[in-house]
């Protein structure tokens, strides 16, 4: 068997292109929306109101208890039967955001709970309201705790976006699949796409370490 | 640093800063306060002593709204008692009825708390810890607050620590920052919750020294403490609590040297033996 180096080089462009115009923006948009959703869900979960925390608990349970691929298909292939027809991109962003929202909510909730009660009290005693204490005192400390687990969620999301190829989103893996089908060089194309995912995740891991170092500057070592 | 030059001029005159009546509180079936009365006069230092579980910390926390009593009233100030934050008007909270966030906030407007475990904000420098309340809550001009904070830091011997993070400080230094954070709020009343209990013995003195100076300058304070020698030195009035009631109260020298009640005698004797 001869190794098709020409194909390696010529497919590199479309695969990187898929990462830049598909995988990366899809990941960033979904993670940003997902995090915002997660914060909201975490706060609902922590609310003394039983109905609100019940809703949040139910949401987290459904998201974590069902496959991401099924969630994607429900939104893209399922919703049209209810008259809601969404394009591939919005479908993917909604599905991934909802997914991140469910997982990250638990991370954020645990991080908020890990901040000592005395910090809430200190905030209150200098006159801060609950929301003010949350934003200025509690969340900055919770952020430090939640960086490692949220980085996991982020890195998983990068790889999970490959599932969007199944609802026709043009991203890294869909480009690889098309070239593979055309050239019949499955091994080359799939290994190549694997290495690009890996590369992205390596960069993210480096970023995670830098962020952790930055947030650790006020902690004794 | 003295209360008279923090624009809290009314503190110099005689009069009642705080008056609490019939405070009652239960946590579930555990009754912690069974009707507590406290009066604090302007410039007075009141020490709350008693065995653990006696309810003294709960009383203190009730005065700052960190606990909400089930019943009783807390009245702050009289007509001429103005704070930087609050209006000049007095304030009465009746805990028998529902008490809203706004009323609790008004309570916190008038007092500031120093915690046993300091509770400094670990993600902020010393300076940020101190100016957070005055700038973010009281909306005072930042430059003025920073200057004031630096003056207060110098006063407690920590001027070189303004840009340090709390973890870089010893317990005694952290507690002095905790005290400065409370002072920066320019409260009518300072509340201390066992301010030296978490400290190594050799660091206790530096914190008590600062508190004593504040007392000498005329700050009005309520202190929960186990340091009887200190209470005798600093407090005008000592209140001995046990089982959620006030067992004995009176001038510090009397209560601590010649207690009338048997329970007080035993407590004072036990603590002095420990020393």
DSSP A37-61: HHHHHHHHHH-S-HHHHHHHHHHHH
What is the model's pLDDT at position B16? 87
* Cα separation, A140 vs A215, whole angstroms: 9
Which of A122, A127, A218 lies nearest to residue B119, judging by beta carbons? A122
* Cα separation, A143 vs A134, whole angstroms: 12
Top residue of A111, A127, A128, A133 to mutate, by most chain B CBs within 10 Å, is: A127
Tell me which of B107 and A35 has the higher pLDDT: A35
Cβ separation B121–A132 shorter than 8 A: no
Scored b (16 or more CB within 10 A) or e, B126-158 reads bbbbbbbbbbebbebeeeebbebbbebbebbeb
Which of A121, A128, A141 lies nearest to residue B122, judging by beta carbons? A141
**Facing residues of B26 across strands?**
B31
Q: What angle do CA A120, A54, A77 make, to 5 degrees?
A: 120
Q: How many CA atoms lie within 13 A of B175 on its CB side?
A: 24
The closest alpha carbon to B47, from B223, B195, B258, belongs to B223
* Cα separation, B11 vs B15, whole angstroms: 8
In chain A, the residue whose alpha carbon lies closest to the alpha carbon of B183 is A126
Which of B113, B136, B167 lies nearest to residue A218, judging by beta carbons? B167
B117 touches chain A (CB under 8 A): yes
**ipTM strictly over 0.85?**
yes
Cβ separation B137–A132 shorter than 8 A: yes
* Cα separation, B63 vs B74, whole angstroms: 7
String of DSSP letters for chain B: --GGGGT-GGGGS-SEEEEEEEEEEEETTEEEEEEEEEEEETT-EEEEE--TTSSHHHHHHHHTTSS--SEEEEEE--TT---SSS-SS-EEEETTS---HHHHHHHHHHEEEE-TT----TTS-HHHHHHHIIIIIS---HHHHHHHHHHHHHHTT-GGGTT--GGGS-HHHHHHHHHHHHHHT--SEEEEESTTTTS-HHHHHHHHHHHHHHHHTT--EEEE-S-HHHHHHH-SEEEEEETTEEEEEEEHHHHHHS--SHHHHHHHHHHHHH-
What letter would DSSP give residue A142? H
Structure tokens, B154: 């110098």
Decide: helix, strand or coil at residue A151. helix
Which residues in chain A are contacts of B185 at CB distance < 8 A? 126-127
* Confidence band of A3 (pLDDT split at 50, 70, 90): confident
Interface of A with B in 99-128 (CB under 8 A): 116, 118-119, 121-122, 124-128
Cβ separation A128–B85 shorter than 8 A: no
The closest alpha carbon to B42, from B21, B19, B20, B23, belongs to B19
pLDDT tens track of chain B, all 275 residues? 555 444 444 444 458 899 999 999 999 999 999 999 999 999 999 999 999 889 999 999 999 999 999 999 999 875 344 443 444 567 889 998 888 888 899 889 899 999 999 999 999 999 999 999 999 999 999 999 999 999 999 999 999 999 999 999 999 999 999 999 999 999 999 999 999 999 998 999 999 999 999 999 999 999 999 999 899 999 999 999 999 999 999 999 899 989 999 999 999 888 876 55
Q: Are strands B16-27 and B111-114 parallel, antiparallel or unpaired?
A: unpaired
What is the model's pLDDT at position A164? 95
In degrees rounded to 5, what are phi and psi of residue A21?
-95, -10
Mean pLDDT score of chain A: 94
Q: Is the dihedral of CA B68, A42, B133, B130 positive or negative?
A: positive
Rounded to two decimals, the pTM is: 0.87
Cβ separation B115–A118 shorter than 8 A: yes
Cβ separation B117–A118 shorter than 8 A: yes
Largest CA distance in chain A: 75
């Amino acid at each position: 068997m001869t190794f098709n180096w020409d194909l390696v080089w010529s497919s590199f462009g479309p695969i990187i292109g898929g990462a830049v115009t598909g995988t990366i923006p899809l990941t960033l948009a979904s993670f940003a929306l997902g995090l915002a959703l997660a914060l909201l869900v975490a706060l609902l979960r922590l609310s003394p109101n039983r109905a609100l925390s019940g809703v949040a608990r139910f949401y987290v349970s459904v998201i974590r208890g069902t496959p991401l691929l099924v969630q994607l298909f429900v939104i893209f292939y399922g919703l049209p039967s209810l008259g809601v027809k969404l394009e591939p991109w919005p479908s993917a962003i909604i599905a991934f955001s909802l997914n991140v929202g469910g997982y990250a909510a638990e991370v954020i909730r645990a991080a908020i709970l890990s901040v000592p009660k005395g910090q809430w009290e200190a905030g209150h005693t200098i006159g801060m309201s609950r929301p003010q204490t949350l934003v200025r005192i509690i969340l900055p400390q919770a952020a430090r705790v939640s960086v490692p687990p949220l980085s996991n969620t982020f890195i998983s999301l990068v790889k999970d976006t490959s599932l969007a190829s199944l609802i026709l989103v043009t991203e890294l893996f869909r480009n690889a699949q098309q070239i593979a089908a055309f050239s019949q060089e499955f091994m080359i194309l799939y290994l190549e796409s694997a290495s690009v995912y890996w590369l992205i995740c390596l960069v993210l891991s480096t970023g995670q370490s830098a962020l952790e170092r930055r947030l650790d500057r006020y902690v004794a070592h | 640093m003295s209360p008279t030059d923090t624009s809290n001029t009314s503190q110099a005159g005689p009069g009642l800063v705080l008056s609490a009546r019939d405070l009652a509180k239960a946590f579930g079936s555990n009754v912690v306060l069974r009707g507590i009365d406290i009066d604090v006069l302007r410039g007075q230092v009141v020490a709350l002593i008693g065995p653990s579980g006696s309810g003294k910390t709960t009383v203190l926390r009730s005065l700052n709204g960190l606990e909400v009593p089930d019943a009783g009233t807390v009245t702050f100030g009289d007509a001429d008692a103005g704070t930087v934050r609050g209006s000049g008007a007095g304030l009465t909270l009746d805990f028998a009825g529902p008490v809203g966030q706004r009323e609790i906030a008004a309570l916190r407007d008038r007092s500031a708390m120093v915690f046993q475990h300091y509770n400094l904000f670990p993600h902020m420098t010393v300076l940020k810890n101190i100016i957070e309340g005055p700038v973010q809550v009281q909306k005072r001009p930042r430059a003025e607050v920073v200057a004031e904070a630096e003056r207060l830091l110098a006063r407690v011997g920590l001027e070189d620590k303004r840009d340090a993070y709390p973890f870089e400080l010893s317990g005694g230094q952290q507690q002095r920052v905790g005290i400065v954070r409370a002072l920066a709020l320019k409260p009518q009343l300072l509340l201390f919750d066992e301010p030296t209990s978490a400290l190594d013995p050799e660091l206790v003195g530096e914190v008590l020294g600062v508190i004593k100076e504040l007392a000498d300058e005329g700050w009005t304070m309520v202190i929960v403490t186990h340091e009887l020698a200190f209470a005798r030195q600093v407090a005008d009035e000592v209140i001995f609590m046990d089982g959620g009631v006030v067992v004995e109260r009176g001038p510090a020298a009397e209560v601590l040297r010649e207690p009338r009640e048997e329970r007080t005698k035993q407590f004072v004797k036990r603590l002095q033996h420990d020393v």
